[in-house]
Structure 1
Amino acid sequence: MNNGRMAVFALLMIILAGCSTEESRTAARRDTEVALETAREQAHVDCSSAADCERLWTRTRLYVAQRSATPIRRADDTAIETAEPHTFGTVYVWATRTSSASGVSTIQVKGMCRGMYRADGNPGWLYGTCARQIRSVEAEFRSFIGAAS
């Protein structure tokens, strides 16, 4: 009888540990998503004069070329796109430039990473690695652009 109670107790402890581990993974994933969203919201600059916008767009192209693991495959006045990498866990970067009716243009960068999400939209096996790299690329964009003179 005592061995039976010990076995039940041990099983309960294993179940509780599993629940605790899953809760901590869920909380960590939620924190990572919040950090990614914050970085993405800050990964843009606005400009209004043609000369300023052109200078920032040129700096953006340099930033994309330096930060993406793959080369630029298309670049024009509204988009800079790099090729998708063949390897998983590799960050590639795109940028867009949009104009509003008020004459303000917004330049935004976006980091992407193969293997970050599974086909069903849930985090993939390289989620943490990809998230750290993307957050870095997106969070550092403004300071890189601000360094231009």
Structure 2
Amino acid sequence: MKTTIAITLAALVLGGCMSAEKQEAEARDFTRSESLLDTAQRNASVACADQMQCDKAWSLTKDYVAAHSSTSIVRADAAAIETDVPSRSGKAVYSATRVAKGSGATITLYAQCRGMYGQDRAMGSDYDDCVKQIGPAQNGFVPFLNQHLSSQ
């Protein structure tokens, strides 16, 4: 009987340690993923030099948003491209802005994902799936534009 109690207590203590270790690992992964997403957001911006180049880049941006978003475009004008809100959790949607700078503009791609965050910006139930969608799409945006603009 004493042996059974001792084994049970030891299992509970070890289980608590593993749970704390798992929570620490998840917290580190969350912090790392947030850092990667911040970098991807900063990298999802491009400057175009003149009206003609900006118009072509903006057209390509609309194509990119449509191809990557889980919902359809609901607004596309000279200043913004927006997609509809997803009906289900875990679906990434994209938007873009075009801000005039001199004779050119800065075009920036934004991303969000329903279910990505919980209360107080804590990790939501679909966080990992959302990161897998958003990071590569934002990191691929500028190379996509550069590739298509240089082939013109």
The TM-score, its normalising length taken from structure 1, stands at: 0.92
In structure 2, what is the equivalent of residue 76 of structure 1? 77
1:56-112 Cα offsets, whole Å, 9 max, x none, are 111111111111111111111110001111111111110001123x44521011111
State the 1:5 CA deviation.
3.4
Instruction: Determine if the alignment matches structure 1 residue 7 to structure 2 residue 8.
Output: yes
In structure 1, what is the equivalent of residue 130 of structure 2? 130
State the 1:6 CA deviation.
3.0
In structure 2, what is the equivalent of residue 87 of structure 1? 88
1:124-148 Cα offsets, whole Å, 9 max, x none, are 1100001110111101101110121
Instruction: Determine if the alignment matches structure 1 residue 58 to structure 2 residue 59.
Output: yes
State the 1:3 CA deviation.
4.0
Number of residue equivalences: 148
Letter of the 1:66 partner, please give it.
A
Aligned residue for 1:123, secondary structure, equals coil
Instruction: Determine if the alignment matches structure 1 residue 112 to structure 2 residue 112.
Output: yes
State the 1:2 CA deviation.
4.2
In structure 1, what is the equivalent of residue 46 of structure 2? 45
8 Å Cα contact 2:36-2:135 kept in structure 1: yes
State the 1:119 CA deviation.
4.0
**Distance across 1 between alignment mates of 2:99 and 2:19:** 47
**Distance across 2 between alignment mates of 1:68 and 1:81:** 10
8 Å Cα contact 2:54-2:104 kept in structure 1: no
**Distance across 2 between alignment mates of 1:3 and 1:71:** 60
8 Å Cα contact 2:40-2:138 kept in structure 1: yes
Larger helix share, 1 or 2:
2
**Distance across 1 between alignment mates of 2:12 and 2:69:** 48
**Distance across 2 between alignment mates of 1:3 and 1:67:** 56
Gaps of 5+ in 2: none
Aligned residue for 2:120, secondary structure, equals coil
**Distance across 1 between alignment mates of 2:72 and 2:103:** 31
Considering only aligned residues, what root-mean-square deviation do their CA atoms show, in Å?
1.5
Gaps of 5+ in 1: none
In structure 1, what is the equivalent of residue 147 of structure 2? 147
Aligned residue for 1:120, secondary structure, equals helix
